[in-house]
Structure 1
Amino acid sequence: MRLDKFICKSTELTRTEAKKVLKSGEVQVNGEVAKNAAMQVHENNTITIDGQQLSARGSRYYILHKLVDTICSNVDEVYPSILHSIEVDKAFDLHIAGRLDADTTGLVLITDDGRWSHNVISPKKQCQKTYRVWLRTEIDDDKLSTLVAKFDSGLQLQGEDGLTRPAILTRVAQADLVDEESYKSEVLLTITEGKYHQVKRMFAAAGNRVVGLHREQIGDITLGDLAPGEWRELTEDEIAQFS
């Protein structure tokens, strides 16, 4: 963990205030003055400010049902950050483990544990993420088996060197009685990667267009009865999945 982050987890100081304390020379790590905010420290290090030993608070883990027109960022941009919805102290010291686009809704995991979030988002960990996808073009019975096979074998995305990892595609329903501005097919897609706009780009590569996207599950964690905009702490069993 970065030294400035450790200080914030051990005190009421903000990141800016922690950096000022570091520059003042008041911070020591294992008896040596430390001024580098990016210095990596661990739980077994002895870290003091003006002679007072620090002890970091435990990590925090939350699940949020993301609303449309919010962003997975620690700063507001065109749309507000989802961290405004997490009503806890120092919410903006948290980070998002697996981002969603502004127009995408659904399950988001939020934490201040970098190693834990790495286990969620790293392709090497093979963590499954399941999305409900609404498509502009109908997927009829003749096309379905071919499309399932394409997603299973991997798709070539524009600008990427290799194929996508195998993905699981399941058709949920066909929308026969909808107007031309709405969707024509509804599917579930499970992937183990998190490339930029990956779900949208995969369907574009397959000749379709995503008109709605909602993440339903990460690993074994689901939204359950969380309403849009609601959040809660993760249970110990949910946290343990990625520890």
Structure 2
Amino acid sequence: MESQFVSPFPGDLLGCLSYTFPEGTHAIGRLDKNSEGLLLLTTNKKITSLLFQSNVPHKRTYLVQVKHKMGQESLQTLITGLDIRIKGGENYRTPPCEAKIVKYEELKFHAHGRHKASLITTWLTITLTEGKFHQVRKMVLAAGHRCMRLIRISIEDMELGDLRPGEIRIVEQEQFFRQLNLDTSSLISPSSPQ
């Protein structure tokens, strides 16, 4: 699903969900089409700049499944930062981040419809304070692994928890600001949008 309400291209959009959103609702910190997980929606246009464009960094944590077994050396390159390619073919050095291996998993499948095969995959968490240029996917690729799944599990203290795909959880404005660690004293008023 696209994390937007309007698109020039056909496909599932946020408006396809069985919920009536207030006028002016928009996504904060979009997910690309091949990613899944926590997506924040609000009618308050100032939240995006407070969360992703301010001088105060805000953490985003992703659960990532990659092909093959990732070793400590590759994990360390993610943690210390590495070069990724961005638009225009330029290199971008990622800043240090938090990363840890959660588990290894063996996937079994039928190869060419006849014989069974298996593939070892690695699940890891990566916590960043930025998310530029499809950064997580490019980081794990630069570390020698292909991203198979990418799930955003939290933004600051706002967690995906047991929320299922397509489910919506209403969060009161004060709790929303508190869990996102936003200094919004000038934004909170009885008439402020949610």
TM-score when scaled to structure 1? 0.63
Shift of 1:230: 0.7
Structure having the higher strand fraction is: 2
Pairing of 1:1-243 with structure 2 (within 5 A): 70-76=1-7, 77-85=9-17, 87-91=19-23, 93-122=24-53, 124-139=55-70, 143-144=71-72, 146-159=73-86, 160-176=90-106, 178-179=108-109, 184-235=121-172, 236-240=174-178, 241-242=181-182, 243=184
Q: Structure 1 runs of 4+ off > 6 angstroms? A: none
Contact 1:79–1:102 (8 Å) recurs in 2: no
Shift of 1:88: 3.0
Greater CA deviation, 105-114 or 158-167?
158-167
Higher RCO (Cα < 8 Å, 6 or more apart): 2
| Counterpart amino acid of residue 150 in structure 1 | T
CA distance in 2, matches of 1:172, 1:216: 14
Give secondary structure in 2 for the equivalent of 1:149.
Answer: helix
Shift of 1:181: 7.2
User: Which structure has the larger Rg over C-alpha atoms?
Assistant: 1
Length, aligned pairs only: 169
Structure 1 gaps of 5+ residues are 1-69
Contact 2:83–2:93 (8 Å) recurs in 1: yes
Q: Deviations over 1:46-73 (max 9, x none)?
A: xxxxxxxxxxxxxxxxxxxxxxxx0012
Give secondary structure in 1 for the equivalent of 2:177.
Answer: helix
Shift of 1:87: 2.0
TM-score when scaled to structure 2? 0.77
Q: 1:3 maps to which residue?
A: none
Structure 2 gaps of 5+ residues are 110-116, 185-194
Give secondary structure in 1 for the equivalent of 2:123.
Answer: strand
